[in-house]
Amino acid sequence: MSREPILRVAINAPLSRLFDYLPPADGANSLPRPGCRLLVPFGRRRQTGVLLEVAKTSDVPAARLKRVQKVLDPEPILREPDLRLIRFASDYYHHPIGEVVGCALPAPLRQGKPLHESRQRLKLTADGAHAVPAEAVRRAPRQSALLELLQRDGSLAAEELDRLLPGWRQPARGLVAKGVAELVEELGPPPAAGSAQKTATAPVPNPDQAAALEALSGRRDFHVALLDGITGSGKTEVYLSLIQETIALGRQVLVLVPEIGLTPQFVGRLEGRLGLAAAVLHSSLPDSVRLATWRAARSGAAPLVLGTRSAVFAPMQNPGLIVVDEEHDGSYKQQEGLRYSARDLAIARGKQLDIPVVLGSATPSIESLSRCREGAYRRLTLPARAGGAAPPLLRLVDLNRHPPTEGLARPVVEAMRRHIDEGGQVLVFLNRRGYAPTLICRSCSAVAECRRCDARMTVHARSGRLMCHHCGAARPLDDSCAACGGPVAPLGQGTERLEDTLQQRFPDFAITRIDSDSTRARGAMDQALAAAISGQTRIMVGTQILSKGHHFPDLTLVVVINADQGLFSTDFRGTERLAQGLIQVAGRAGRESRQGEVLIQTAFAAHPFWHELLTGGYERVAAMALEEREDAAWPPFSRLALLRASSTRRADTHRFLEIARELADDSPQDGTRVLGPVAAPMERRAGRYRGQLLFQSRTRRALHRVLASLRPKLEEEPFARRVRWSIDVDPLELF
DNA sequence: AGCACGCCGACT
DNA sequence: GTCGGCGTGCTC
């Protein structure tokens, strides 16, 4: 019996277990450490895996164990704290560990590329400098070409040579053998993170900011603070002060933002005030840049690491603080694969590292407010607008009293005219792309339906097509009713139609429409925004895309065409989302000199939601939502989890969910139960049958305990080996 | 996931 | 005859 250690490796595949390997043939004396990447034979191919554990024995028969082919990292690329977060996420979301590791690594590292760029250089020797190419390498044209290149430049980096003379290593060997060139390894660290000019200094904090800072500064251990204040209340100043303090102690700061494209000013402001460049991580960066940034975070060269949700996994040498800006934002929730919440993982990470986590929002999520109420988080409110400008005025336009023509009520048009005449800009929101949301038959009232799914088709006039916003199907516009052959007409308002209507009402002004259709072309978005930001455009029409980030200089009026869909949405988070959206948009209207105005068209002006919002603001709406959810029907959704299962066989998925339900019902720990039968009808996609089951529990811990107890029991079932499953804790939407 | 193996239908 | 469709099973 051999005493060889067993290497337990995470492989990027939808398989939740680790795979056992024998150490590499050559390096038995220097065993790789957990966190190193390994090249391993896996089935019929080779895979890059990450070593997670070194064990003494394996459950796998020795004869079936294969040997690691190559150790890719001399040092762990993921260190113990990074691995701890990965293990937590895999455990908490019941997601295959190999895939979680995959989320935590930039693509090149996932594919087995080296952490550090090749720092090799081919250099000319003293002899080489005088060698005559034709003579030295008479019968080797490639060697002579390489020599000529070298004589021109003296030395060349490996990457440079890869570009100039692919396959250069072969002739290089010849040159080295002749003593005219040498291959050297360049030393020294890769270029450090850039610096930025310090362009601003800290203003004197107002009393509220000072109070928040006093509560937060100086504490270096784990705690969660919810910094809650409207736009302009000076949250960023508080972050800045804490960031500065942390960096001054030689520790790194991780800042998470919802979408990087929407926060250029935020990034610029941080950099300008801190006098250093942020290491920015997000998905639209080229791989090479992302890798370099990841490396700078890992090495500690980057004091400030800033990124979107996946940055929550960024390794750091010496982390001291985590900030989650706009913590309520839905983009922190990954919607496929590992369905994690970057905000929740940030908190888990802060706890593991024992460092503070600061959440910021003008409109905190209900679950964070709930944690504050329980006393788990500390709530710090910044009430005043730092600049002293008056908060925008929210007003309802009752569509019953002012029937709209072409979707616009008279007071809205009048207000628009007034604001434009006074030099303001107007933003008109309508959350419906296309010309009209329906194409209806004038004689039989049938609506055009999608042939691929069960949604209605949306009319797109600019492209002359019907499009399904649900599944993406498209077809030419029907010229008659599919059911009875009668005449058809578009029904309802979309952004295209609204653009036309506004153009008729305001013929002297150019209307800019900004939605995902109008901005599809590269640069179109930037162009439209540039015109708006310069103040050239007075009227902008758009969808949600417009609601975040950009600062329009003269924006004084915001019009919300249809708020009612948020009011009666099937989404159980509908009302708080609506309130969050309205507050966010309102925060952007108005300048120092002029009070902003928000006009909301509604056919349900008597709905209690409006009363709460207009008299009590977000605070009141949130309190209502919280009470409602703590009450009965819907518990706080931090205690909800969706079990998602899929298999190639319908019967497997069904039985799996059935057994899960029975297990949960048999062990009603802390009130855990399953809501509904198999909550959503089974769906077949990509050749797999998918189903889900909704769990509810009185406490988060209990919920997790029940879910965790499912695993061993389900894995006893032979058929369960064919089922892939994971948990969506805190689902963003329920169907 | 990726890949192989196997078992049936329509082709040079 | 065999090429290739997908249904099924496996990866240390």
Taking each helix axis as running N to C, give the angle between helix A608-631 and helix A574-586, from 0 to 180 degrees, rounded to the nearest 10.
Answer: 130
**Two tokens at A188?**
């020294």
- Which pTM does this prediction carry? 0.87
Task: Return the minimum-mean-pLDDT range out of A52-61, A328-337, A476-485, A697-706.
Answer: A697-706
Q: Which nucleotide is nearest to A65 (CA to C1')?
A: C12
Percent of chain A topping pLDDT 70 = 92
Residue A192, pLDDT above cutoff 50: no
- Whole-number pLDDT of residue A601: 95
Q: Averaged over A415-432, what is the pLDDT?
A: 91
- Whole-number pLDDT of residue A318: 97
State the Cα–Cα distance between residues A128 and A414, nearest whole angstrom: 82
Q: Which nucleotide is nearest to A6 (CA to C1')?
A: C12
Q: Which nucleotide is nearest to A44 (CA to C1')?
A: B3
d(CA A110, C1' C2) / Å: 39
For residue A592, the SS3 value is coil
Task: Return the minimum-mean-pLDDT range out of A97-101, A110-114, A523-527.
Answer: A523-527
Give the residue carrying structure tokens 């139609």.
Answer: A497
For the ranges A138-147, A175-184, A419-428, the one whose mean pLDDT is highest? A419-428
Task: Return the minimum-mean-pLDDT range out of A133-137, A289-293, A688-692.
Answer: A133-137
Regarding predicted confidence, which is higher, A64 or A569? A64
Q: Are A280 and A293 in contact (CB under 8 A)?
A: yes
Which residues in window 22-81 of A are less than 7 A from strand C by Cβ?
Answer: 40-43, 58, 60, 64-66
State the Cα–Cα distance between residues A330 and A531, nearest whole angstrom: 29
d(CA A323, C1' B5) / Å: 52
Q: Averaged over A710-721, what is the pLDDT?
A: 82
Q: Are A223 and A374 in contact (CB under 8 A)?
A: no
d(CA A233, C1' B1) / Å: 48
- Whole-number pLDDT of residue A194: 59
- Whole-number pLDDT of residue A670: 64
Q: In what order do the strands lie in the sheet with A6-11?
A: A66-67, A19-22, A6-11, A45-55, A37-42, A70-71
Query: pLDDT tens digit string along A337-371?
Result: 999 999 999 999 999 999 999 999 999 999 899 88
- Whole-number pLDDT of residue A442: 93
Work out if A648's Cβ lies within 7 angstroms of strand C. yes
State the Cα–Cα distance between residues A632 and A635, nearest whole angstrom: 6
Regarding predicted confidence, which is higher, A628 or A73? A73
State the Cα–Cα distance between residues A688 and A653, nearest whole angstrom: 9
Give the residue carrying structure tokens 């969050």.
Answer: A580
Enumerate the nucleotides of strand B whose atoms come under 7 Å of any protein CB.
Answer: 1-4
A638 confidence band (pLDDT: 50, 70, 90): low
Q: Averaged over A646-650, what is the pLDDT?
A: 88
Regarding predicted confidence, which is higher, A633 or A412? A412
Residue with CA nearest C9 C1'? A722
Q: Compute φ and ψ for A140, nearest 5 degrees.
A: -130, 90
Helix (H) or strand (E) holding A560, with range, is strand A555-560
d(CA A42, C1' C8) / Å: 19
Query: pLDDT tens digit string along A249-258?
Result: 999 999 999 9
Give the residue carrying structure tokens 């030395």.
Answer: A155
CA A86 to chain centre: 17
Task: Return the minimum-mean-pLDDT range out of A58-62, A126-130, A665-669.
Answer: A665-669
Q: Which nucleotide is nearest to A67 (CA to C1')?
A: C12
Please give the mean pLDDT across all residues of chain A.
86
Q: Are A369 and A626 in contact (CB under 8 A)?
A: yes
For residue A165, the SS3 value is coil
Query: pLDDT tens digit string along A521-534?
Result: 777 777 777 777 77
- Residue A716: which residues within 8 A CB-CB, separation 6 or more? none
Residue A688, pLDDT above cutoff 50: yes
d(CA A688, C1' B10) / Å: 27
| A178 CB neighbour count, 10 Å cutoff | 17
Sign of the CA dihedral with A551 first, then A271, A258, and A190 last:
positive
Q: Which residues touch strand B (CB under 7 A)?
A: A 13-15, 43-45, 686, 724
Q: Averaged over A212-216, what is the pLDDT?
A: 89
- Whole-number pLDDT of residue A435: 94
Q: Which nucleotide is nearest to A9 (CA to C1')?
A: C12
Work out if A687's Cβ lies within 7 angstroms of strand C. yes
Enumerate the nucleotides of strand C whose atoms come under 7 Å of any protein CB.
Answer: 6-12
State the Cα–Cα distance between residues A583 and A233, nearest whole angstrom: 13
Which residues in window 6-25 of A are less than 7 A from strand C by Cβ?
Answer: 13, 15, 17, 19-21
A383 confidence band (pLDDT: 50, 70, 90): confident
Residue A118, pLDDT above cutoff 80: no
Residue A451, pLDDT above cutoff 70: yes
Q: Distance from first CA to last CA of chain A, Å, rounded?
A: 55
Percent of chain A topping pLDDT 90 = 44
Q: Averaged over A58-67, what is the pLDDT?
A: 94
Work out if A689's Cβ lies within 7 angstroms of strand C. no
